[in-house]
Amino acid sequence: MEKKKEIFPYGIPDHNLTEIEREIPIEEPPAWPINAELKEVGKRRTRYDARAKVTGEATFTSDIQLPGMLYAKFLRSNVPHASIRSIDISRAEKLPGVHAIKVITTEMDGKESYPDVKYVGQPIAAVAATSLEIAKDAIALIDVAYTEKAFVIDINEALEDNAPLVFDEPIERQADGGDVGVVHDGSKGQGNRRGPTTSSFYGGPRGDLDKGFAEADVIVEGTYSTQVQTQMPLETHGVVIDWKPNEMLVYASTQNTAGVRNELASYFDLPRSKVRVICDFMGGGFGSKHSAGDFGPMAAMLSKETRRPVWLMVDRKEEHIAQGNRPSSIQQLKIGAKRDGTLTAIQQTSHGTAGVALGAGVGRVAQILYQCPNFSTEQYDVLTHAGPGAAWRAPGNVQGAFGVEQAIDELAEKINMDPLDLRDKIDNSEVRKVERMRGAAKFDWSRRQKPGSTPGVVKKGMGVAQSCWPRFVTLNSSIEVRILNDGSV
């Protein structure tokens, strides 16, 4: 087959975008020209799923009803830090309608034991029953004896030398929750402070900070804090699982059907081809619905034991305390600049808590939003006895943008420059420049008054802030299908 060579971009624009050469069949249609008049692309079209959503015809995971289906409910810890002495399920087992009770255990020194409780909302056991009401009643009949321990939920208290430890050993590396493209290594650091992370796929520190600050005419320093925020998708996290012999049918409220399939297949040592995950409609996810969670394996175990489909959707309270959040942050920023606004150095140090998880970084906004020759960031995770964080709409960047943009505004005020003019000077993005120009016109930026100049205790004003998120340029998608002699794929 005759082929031709073409050059394709690959990577992240403005950072590590490269070009690679690839051979493609000569008969493959050429790339569309810029601003080509196309039949579908660029045209207004009604979403194919719009009618089903607005008429109530759409079936979400929480709506699934299967023959013989059982309803499951978690028993969760009501204390933040404890060891479990005993769990008595005898009263719950006797409740009519209860089909299975699964107590979460861990293996230590060849013996089964109960895992230590690390946060309020940690799953301890689960019940499967003929109705959700019976499952809730059964949960209330389970008796748990705790030996409570000292705990810490405040980030500043967690950093103190005598603070109760969340983990007294290294914890596994994690690459989610805080920074996209960053691996958080829980083996680094000591006490409740782990880290720092200093680089990502945007690169690491650059230039010479001391030199950059020495060249600065003006230096701005500040500490900026953001709070933990919990997500609230209209449809909570959960699954419906029907485990038939050697294969599993999964209805999941998920943004990542392949990821859920892979997790469950790995957890139960099944071929991926034996796990089918369906998500026709999802009631919101915002980044947090990428995994099977704790509810996925539990529903699967209950389904396998009872040989019936199991519905396990968390309720609104569980959603808030146990299904992820946007981590908090305390950011120290130091920015050096010339009188004309030219940046000479940016130094960033942040501490954040994602509860019992890692991933409380503040993204890479400070690194990529404005071009600065001398840059450094150190981002630390602070462990606390609280529910784990999760990805949420540009994980890390939301917190990071708040700190950076506050500091840039303070710099503009210090050098007596309009905040828009300063951003026009230090931001190389032509797209954002047009966005700022259009925004200023709509808000009539010329009406803006000097910060704090309006009378009264409550001030009114007009401001500007911006952020960014990476865009990835990759080669054309491809798929390989292998069909075996028995017809399986």
CATH number belonging to the domain at 61-79+82-149+236-319, selected among 3.30.300.30, 2.40.160.150, 3.30.930.10, 3.30.365.10: 3.30.365.10
**Cα torsion through 76, 81, 82, 88, rounded to 10:** -10
Residue 224, pLDDT > 60, answer yes
CB 311 within 8 A of CB 64: yes
Tokens 């931001």 found at: 427
- pLDDT 10s digits, 41-61: 888 989 999 999 999 999 999
Spatial separation of the C-alpha atoms in residues 328 and 347, rounded to whole Å: 19
Which pLDDT score, from 0 to 100, does residue 186 have? 63
How are beta strands 193-197 and 229-230 bridged, if at all?
unpaired
Structure tokens at 481: 């299908």
153 CA to centre of own chain: 20
Task: For 57, list phi and psi in degrees, rounded to 5.
Answer: -80, -20
pLDDT digits (tens, 9 = 90+) for 231-285: 899 999 999 999 998 899 999 999 999 999 999 999 999 999 999 999 999 999 9
User: What's the pLDDT tens digit per position in 333-358?
Assistant: 999 999 999 999 999 999 999 999 99
Distance CA 436, CA 64 (A): 46
Tens-place pLDDT, residues 93-106: 999 999 999 999 98
Question: Given CA atoms 108, 113, 117, 123 in this order, what sign does their dihedral have?
Answer: positive
Task: Let me know if domain 154-231+324-489 sits in CATH 3.30.450.20.
Answer: no
Residues 6+ apart with CB under 8 A from 46: none
pLDDT at 115 over 80: yes
Strand partners, 71: 129, 311
- How far is 135 from 101, CA to CA, in rounded Å? 10
Residue 369 CA, distance from chain mean position: 21
- Sign, CA dihedral 204-206-209-215, equals negative
**Per-residue H/E/C for 370-397:** CCCCCEEEEEEEECCCCCCCCCCCCCCH
**What confidence score (pLDDT) does residue 107 get?**
74
> Which amino acid, residue 25?
P
- Kindly write down the DSSP assignment for every residue of 416-481, as one continuous string: T--HHHHHHHH---HHHHHHHHHHHHHHTGGGPPPTT-SSSSS--------------B-PPP----
Q: How far apart are CA 439 and CA 290, in angstroms?
A: 34
**Burial class (CB within 10 angstroms; exposed 0-12, middle 13-18, buried 19+) of 449:** exposed
Placement of tokens 């293996």 in the chain: 107
Identity of residue 338: K
Peptide bond into 96 cis (omega under 30): no
The letter for the amino acid at 201 is F
Residue 175's pLDDT band (boundaries 50, 70, 90)?
very low
Burial 52-81 (b: 16+ CB within 10 A, else e): eeeeeebebbbebeeeebbbbbbbbbebbb
Number of CB atoms found within 10 A of residue 364's CB: 27
The encoded tokens of residue 198 equal 């200093």
Q: Kindly tell me if the per-residue pLDDT of 179 is higher than 90.
A: no
Query: Where is average pLDDT lowest: 314-318, 367-371, 398-402?
Result: 367-371
For 165-185, the DSSP string reads: PS-SS----B-SSS-TT--B-
The pLDDT-based confidence of 15 (bands split at 50, 70, 90) is: low
Tabulate helix, strand, coil % of the chain (nearest 5).
Answer: 25, 25, 50
pTM for the full predicted model: 0.88
The tokens for 204 are 């690491």
Q: Contact, 466 vs 397, CB < 8 A?
A: no
Question: Mean pLDDT across the stretch 172-201?
Answer: 70
Query: What pLDDT score was predicted for residue 313?
Result: 99
Among 183-197, 307-321, 402-416, name the one with the lowest average pLDDT: 183-197
Taken in order 165, 166, 170, 173, the sign of the CA dihedral is: negative
| Token code pair at residue 148 | 């409570």
Instruction: Write out pLDDT tens, residues 429-472.
Output: 999 999 999 999 999 999 999 888 888 999 888 999 999 987 76
Domain map of the chain by residue range? 61-79+82-149+236-319, 154-231+324-489
Beta strands in 165-309 (DSSP E): 189-190, 193-197, 218-226, 229-230, 238-244, 247-252, 275-278
C-alpha 263/C-alpha 277 separation (Å) is 11
DSSP 12-26: -TTTT-EEEEEEEET
| Residue 403 · residue 333 · CB < 8 Å | yes
Note the pLDDT of residue 6: 78
Pair 336, 343: CB distance under 8 Å: yes
The confidence band for 190, taking pLDDT boundaries of 50, 70 and 90, is: confident
Mean pLDDT (whole number) for 151-163: 97
- CATH topology agreement for domains 61-79+82-149+236-319 and 154-231+324-489: yes
